[in-house]
Structure 1
Amino acid sequence: MPTRRLFLASGAALSLTALPVLSQGADRPNPMPEELRQALERDPTAPVLGNPDGDITLTEFFDYNCPFCRKMMPVIQRLISADPQLRVVYREVPVFGEGSDFAARASLASLQQGKYWQFHAALMGMKDRAAEASVMRVARRVGLDEAKLREDMEAQPVIRHIATSMELAEHMGLMGTPTFIAGDEALFGEISLSEMQDLIARARATLG
């Protein structure tokens, strides 16, 4: 899968309302509006890995049925291990059908049982396609209460997280999954560890 670099448009929208386009004379040629950055990075419904108080945030848009998202899981784990100041925000965008939507809702619901990270890693490590039966097999394997999980899958924070993530992806014109955003820049596709580290370094230099 080719790597594509995207620079985020300052005219991106939230809730279908246009955000102000910043001056071309700004220090950065196409800076991200602060409202958009807050929506991406500070959504209380979004799971966070790494250092929750880190000095830079990487946001990943992903789908459990995306093969390149699965391939990127160990890269992100190595990135976090190598950078104690990195904060990683996960945004679920289930674009590969009903199985993806079921997996996304189940993983977000697992936050209520304190097992998101175990469940997330297990889902990413599956050889099977994510579907209701395979997702629930993984849920039982990691020790989740199935009845509670199904109940929590219908909770408003879960529904809101997915709706907001899909809206953000659409209005930023993201190309698909996985997409990684840091600073004012996004990378799409299967990315090497060194490329990810360069993205983080550029974001730190930009936002300094």
Structure 2
Amino acid sequence: MLNRPFFGQFAVSTALVLTLALPATAQALKEYSDAERAQFRAEVRAYLLDNPEVIREAIEVLQNREAETALQADVTLVTDNAADIFDDGYSFVGGNPDGDIVLVEFMDYRCPYCKRAHNEVTKLLATDGNIKLIVKELPILGEQSVLASRFAVATKQLAGGDSYKAMNDALMAFNGDVTLPALRRLATTFELDADAIEAHMNSDEVSAEITATRALASKLAISGTPTFVLQDEMLRGYLPYDQMQALIAEKRN
């Protein structure tokens, strides 16, 4: 007996086989008698049972087509929103600002995969001096994420990129609960004005930046972090260093 997941694949695959091999099948079946339609379906079923590898081939064709469609849709999204992605005027720019490769990261300080990705990106920038990194704050994992992001953005707006980079690195390495006292201690560690940052973190300027990034993420259909934009391609989810390095090499070629 076919189990439920396999039966679903069977139905999809059968439909795909008919669509690929017999584009006029649906119309032709309407012209058959009930007996002819039953015979046709029985023959298709018998063929698939005798050649089950066709089901796997059909599934692979379907998956490849869906992947290609999704890839092309992402390319269109990046093209349509290029100005907001690559030149919004407020996101932190690191690495080599004149690099031939642009990597944009949407991140959340409470996301464990963002923390892993942060280490991979840091390694990429250290080993490849020709990558421009753009960091976009996308706090989506609760109040602590928002608190951390507001503090980091306020640091950037008041103290500049270098201080933001130090705060960003520290927050990515931070594993405890994100609280205002903990954030103030980090600011003090970097000899920043914790009082000024705290006073600014709920300002309209900070809110506007986070709101704009969330709106952009919505346009790009980003539902999780980390999400990267590498040149014209979106990379949804964590990728290890070797895979990112290979993708960058492909872009250069």
Give the TM bin, normalised by the shorter chain.
0.7 to 0.9
Once the two structures are superposed, the pairs formed by residues 7-46 of structure 1 within 5 Å of their partners are: 7=71, 9=73, 30-32=75-77, 34-46=79-91
What secondary structure, in the 3-state scheme, does the structure 1 residue paired with 2:106 have? strand
* Residue aligning to 2:229: 181
More helix by share: 2
Larger radius of gyration: 2
Tell me which of 178, 189, 202 is aligned to 1:141: 189
Q: Where do 5+ consecutive residues of structure 1 fail to align?
A: 11-29
What secondary structure, in the 3-state scheme, does the structure 1 residue paired with 2:140 have? coil
Tell me which of 79, 84, 96 is aligned to 2:141: 96
Higher relative contact order (CA 8 A, sep 6+): 1
The letter for the 1-side match of 2:101 is I
The letter for the 1-side match of 2:159 is Q
Deviation of residue 32 (structure 1)? 4.6
Q: Is 1:66 aligned to residue 114 of structure 2?
A: no
Deviation of residue 9 (structure 1)? 2.7
TM (norm. structure 1) is: 0.79
Distance 1:70 1:8 in 2: 29
Deviation of residue 48 (structure 1)? 0.9
Moved more, 56-65 or 168-177: 168-177
Amino-acid identity (%): 31
Deviation of residue 149 (structure 1)? 0.5
1:137-167 superposed Cα distances (whole Å, 9 cap, x missing partner): 2222222211110233234442222111111
Q: Where do 5+ consecutive residues of structure 2 fail to align?
A: 1-66
Deviation of residue 127 (structure 1)? 1.7
Contact 2:77 2:220 in 1 (8 A): no
Contact 1:45 1:157 in 2 (8 A): no
More strand by share: 1
Equivalenced residues, count: 182
* Residue aligning to 1:27: none
* Residue aligning to 2:214: 166
TM (norm. structure 2) is: 0.66
1:13-36 superposed Cα distances (whole Å, 9 cap, x missing partner): xxxxxxxxxxxxxxxxx4455451
Tell me which of 159, 165, 173 is aligned to 1:113: 159
Alpha carbons of 1:8 and 1:171: their partners in 2 closer, same or farther (altered >3 Å)? Answer: farther
Contact 2:147 2:179 in 1 (8 A): yes
Distance 1:63 1:96 in 2: 7
Q: Is 1:48 aligned to residue 112 of structure 2?
A: no
The letter for the 2-side match of 1:97 is G
Distance 2:198 2:170 in 1: 18
Deviation of residue 190 (structure 1)? 2.6
1:81-133 superposed Cα distances (whole Å, 9 cap, x missing partner): 12211100001111011111111111111122231111111111112132333
